Structure 1
């Protein structure tokens, strides 16, 4: 029994991988799963699955997340924002021929192609068994003690960080490595790119039509066409249409949630925003705004990837009557983060 909780959420994996586990079902990415992915490589062709990280453009998709801001670093005299196109002959020695540029970025980690960490969404749940629900994250990690902030020096090293995940940060995934067999479900091909919920029956039909088989430890990718439209908007998305473009998984369908839990996928990613619909749940009484996030991040320990670019991979797989590939998709090894940009690579 974990020291952090007396009772776990029904249907959760808390404690299944150890009382101090911070990886969840990423633990299922074993050496054998990596080898299964490697066996899918027949042509040596690679596909980058990342949008440019300054997409979608603007803040209409999420007003809290902004495009990256680049600027030069300081120079050797600590003059800010100037070390760019620096001629060494003018600043260091007339005998030097070098020209240097160096830069720094302010980056909203979940602005574009991303992983969500297990610290991204928790819930109020009575893990202590005292009849009172408390805020808590996967496997019983707590706000304040484990997920720190907002407060000065949250990291505790004087760096100025105001928030820091001492546990469940994405560096755990990065250290483990995220590589294995990816499996793609091509919703866009079968249902188009209209805004619609896709329930388990529809998903089953698509999988049957394309001979998609998902096994424990696989990384599931869902192609809806959303990221393709985001690219077409060229960083100027329609502020209304961006919230009503492409399909999403129907997280109000209990059969769909049960399948995701029972499939034992190690992670799930899509080319859309949130994988599920945002704010569309019909649940009544105390409930989660995002049932799929609640299931994956809070209960199962399944990391979620959003806004991956899947168009080219999906087209190639369809042409070659395939659905599986080797996927390499580690987050940044940046300690304490709730989310991370990445450049996933599929190899076929």
Structure 2
């Protein structure tokens, strides 16, 4: 099996190198979804091995698309210098779901211990309980137990492979951000939007209509953000509504998990994706159908997923500017083997 897997990796790299069309990130090319060489034990569409170099397994996935040329092109989005941070305050998720601990802060007076009038603070953060990036070792393919590029669950628990530190060592995440303001489009067209704490599925057709309505065109290597209304709901909900919607019921709005969604995401070749909802995709996924977006984005392609980003001020600024593209920077926590991190994300216009 190991030889078969290696052969598939070599074939994938060879196919990508031989193509003349589909230039991505000024240095990467992709076969069509159907033409990707089969990787033993994985579904059609797996790209393991595409970014490997000199026999070393890649650990950053589609962030490889953020080449200096792509970043330089993204910098041309900066026109006025206005900027907005996309991290929700760490304390905002009052009732974290999935049994996770809430954020806490301890403020420390240093007068007695150091004889200085100064202060420290100590924080507890579960990196999945607020604005976050999911690393490539956060979520495995549930049937095979493998993470990006063939890392097994046992290996993941005993190593730093695929950790977020790899993103930091390559300079963080910097590129062109694209907001797909589905919520604003939906309310403009249909009135009241579906509840963010329902399992409403945002379809590819709706995303395409939103982009057309905004007059926005995506490019390979973009960082796509989808606004669904979850953060707006949470900011305006009562304590009891928050507890019911976030802790008592693990159900949330998001992008539809389907073959059409997977193919659309693959064809657009995003460097990373993010949203303002709990899991980016509609949750819980239908694992038995084989189209869980966590399994495709994180596992098959190595595409980081951002969740619970605050896109409210960004949405308003995009309307004010009449454009939904911007320069985006993100500095995750530089933790060796990190599994999740607040994004430290800033959009600049």
Kindly tell me the number of residue pairs found equivalent between the two proteins: 300
2:173 paired residue number: 178
Take 2:149 and 2:252, find their aligned partners in 1: how far apart are those partners?
33
Query: Do structure 1's residue 111 and structure 2's residue 129 form an aligned pair?
Result: yes
- The answer on whether the counterparts of 1:5 and 1:140 sit within 8 Å (CA) in structure 2 is no
- RMSD over aligned CA atoms reads 2.5
2:217 paired residue number: 213
Structure 1 ranges of 4+ moved more than 4 A: 1-4, 234-237, 242-247
Superposition TM-score, scaled by structure 1 size: 0.79
* 1:12-41 Cα distance to aligned partner (Å, 9 max, x none): 110000151001000001111111221001
Q: CA deviation at 1:100?
A: 2.4
Take 1:333 and 1:268, find their aligned partners in 2: how far apart are those partners?
20
Q: CA deviation at 1:135?
A: 2.4
Q: Which has the larger displacement, 20-29 or 31-40?
A: 31-40
Cα gap change, 1:221/1:175 in structure 2, threshold over 3 Å: closer, same or farther? same
Query: Do structure 1's residue 255 and structure 2's residue 266 form an aligned pair?
Result: no
Query: Do structure 1's residue 69 and structure 2's residue 104 form an aligned pair?
Result: yes
Instruction: Please show how residues 296-311 of structure 1 align to structure 2 within 5 Å.
Output: 296-311=297-312
2:75 paired residue number: 38
Q: CA deviation at 1:235?
A: 6.5
- Asked which structure has the greater CA Rg, the reply is 1
1:17 paired residue number: 51
* 1:303-344 Cα distance to aligned partner (Å, 9 max, x none): 000000011111111222101100001211111121111221
Take 1:339 and 1:246, find their aligned partners in 2: how far apart are those partners?
20
Cα gap change, 1:2/1:220 in structure 2, threshold over 3 Å: closer, same or farther? farther
Instruction: Please show how residues 245-284 of structure 1 align to structure 2 within 5 Å.
Output: 247-252=253-258, 254-281=259-286, 284=288
- The answer on whether the counterparts of 1:224 and 1:246 sit within 8 Å (CA) in structure 2 is no
SS of equivalent to 1:41: coil
Q: CA deviation at 1:85?
A: 2.4
Choose from 200, 203, 206 the match for 1:202: 206
- The answer on whether the counterparts of 2:136 and 2:148 sit within 8 Å (CA) in structure 1 is yes
Superposition TM-score, scaled by structure 2 size: 0.79
SS of equivalent to 2:207: helix
1:130 paired residue number: none
1:187 paired residue number: 182
1:27 paired residue number: 64
Structure 2: stretches of 5+ with no match in the other structure? 7-38, 188-192
Structure 1: stretches of 5+ with no match in the other structure? 73-83, 126-133, 150-164
